[in-house]
Amino acid sequence: MLALLAGQSQAQAQNTTNFPRIGHVDRFDPSLDRLIPKDSVIEVLCGGFEWAEGPVWIPEEDNKYGGFVLFSDIPHNAVMKWQEGIGVTTFMKPAGYTGVADYGAEPGSNGLALDRKGRLVLCEHGDRRISVLTANGGKLTLADRWNGKRFNSPNDLAIRSNGDIFFTDPIYGLPKRADDPSREIDFCGVYRLQKNGTVTLQSREISRPNGIAFSADEKTLFVANSDGRDPIWRAFPLQEDGNLGTPKPFFDASKDDRISQGGGDGLKVDVQGNVFATGPGGVLVLSPEGKLLGRIVTGESIANVGWGNDGTVLYLTSDMYLCRIQTRTKGVGF
C-alpha cells in the first residue's frame, strides 16, 4: 500500500552498490563480535539532509530487494524514501506541519513506525499529533491532546502488538521550545494511546523523554532521556492492565568513562534483548543487563536507528546521512 503513495520526485537511478564508507565500531567487550561482525562497515546510502530521523523499513514483496526505507527530514518537513537500485526520493511533503505560517526550525515528522495493519504512523512536530497514513493517501489524527491540552511535539513511538501506541512528547518541535507561547502542557510526558482513542499519561518524571522501544516479549519499555544532565536510559515494566510501572535505570552514560556524558535519542531492540541506542558518540550497543558492549561511530551525530531487510541490517539516520551496517543479530518484529 505504501509503495503506491510514494512521491514523484525521483533521483537518478542508483546503479552501484559501492557506497562510501565512514566511521568505525568501538568494541568494548568481546561479545560484541557475536552481534556485529569484525568486517562489517558503515555505508553511506544517501545524504544532503538537514537532520534525518526515524528510519523505518517498509516490506514490499514485489521489490527484489524486499522493501525500502522511509525516514524523516525534520527541518524540510518531508518523509524521504530510499530504495536499493533507485536511490532517494521524496515520499511525502508536508510531513509534520500543514499550516500556512512559518513554524520554526523543526516542523516535520520525527519518529515513524508501522502499525499491525502495515500503515505508516507518524509523530508530527508542527501539527503536534500522532497520525496515520490511510490507504487512499490521506492522514488521520490518532491523537493530538491529553486532558484537552495539545501535545508539545510528539517525538518517537513504539507500537505494542495489541495496537497500543506508546510515545514521547518533549519540546524540541515547538518553535521556541520550552518557552513557546503556544505550549499547553508544562512537562514532557510519556503517553499511551489505546485503540479506542483514550490517551493516558504514563510518566512525567523524565525531563526530555525521547527514544522508545519494547523488548521482544513486550514486558519492558525502554525510554531514553535526551537531557545530558540526566543521561539515563530507563526500563519500565509493563503491568497487566497495559500501563507502565515504576521504572528502573537501565544504563547511565555518566558512569562509564569510555564515553562522554550525554543524553540519548532513538533506540531499537533485537530479538536477544540487546538495545541499540543512539547516545554519546554514536549508537551504544547495550546487553540485556545494560552493559555497554560497543559503539557504532559514524563521526556525525546519530538521531535514530531502525532494522530492515531481513531484520539483520541496521539503518542509521546520522545528521545529513542515511547509513547502514550489517549485523549478526535480528531486530524485533522480523
Mind listing the pLDDT tens digit for each residue in 168-178? 999 999 999 99
Q: Grid cell 532517494 — which residue?
A: 88
73 in Cβ contact with 124 (< 8 Å)? no
Q: Is 125 left (phi over 0), alpha (psi -120 to 50) or beta?
A: alpha
Identify any residues that bridge with 275 across adjacent strands, giving them in sequence order.
269, 286
> What is the pLDDT confidence band of residue 286, given thresholds at 50, 70 and 90?
very high
pLDDT digits (tens, 9 = 90+) for 40-81: 999 999 999 999 999 999 999 888 888 999 999 999 999 999
Please give the grid coordinates belonging to residue 137.
493517501
CA-based nearest residue to 54, from 127, 130, 150: 130
294 in Cβ contact with 29 (< 8 Å)? yes
97 in Cβ contact with 139 (< 8 Å)? no
Q: Model-level pTM? A: 0.94
Calculate the CA dihedral of residues 281, 159, 126, 188 and round it to 10 degrees: -70
pLDDT more than 70, % of the chain: 95
Q: What pLDDT is stored for residue 64 in this prediction? A: 82
Q: Grid cell 524486499 — which residue?
A: 66
266 in Cβ contact with 123 (< 8 Å)? no
Pairing outcome for strands 292-297 and 282-286: antiparallel
Candidates 3.30.450.20, 3.90.550.10, 2.120.10.30, 1.10.275.10; correct CATH number of 2-18+50-270? 2.120.10.30
251 in Cβ contact with 232 (< 8 Å)? yes
In angstroms, the CA 239 to CA 314 distance is: 30
Please spell the DSSP secondary structure of 229-245, one letter per residue: TS-EEEEEEBPTTS-B-
Q: What are the extents of the domains in the chain?
A: 2-18+50-270
Residue 276's alpha-carbon distances to 17, 147, 215, 293, in angstroms, are 25, 33, 12, 10
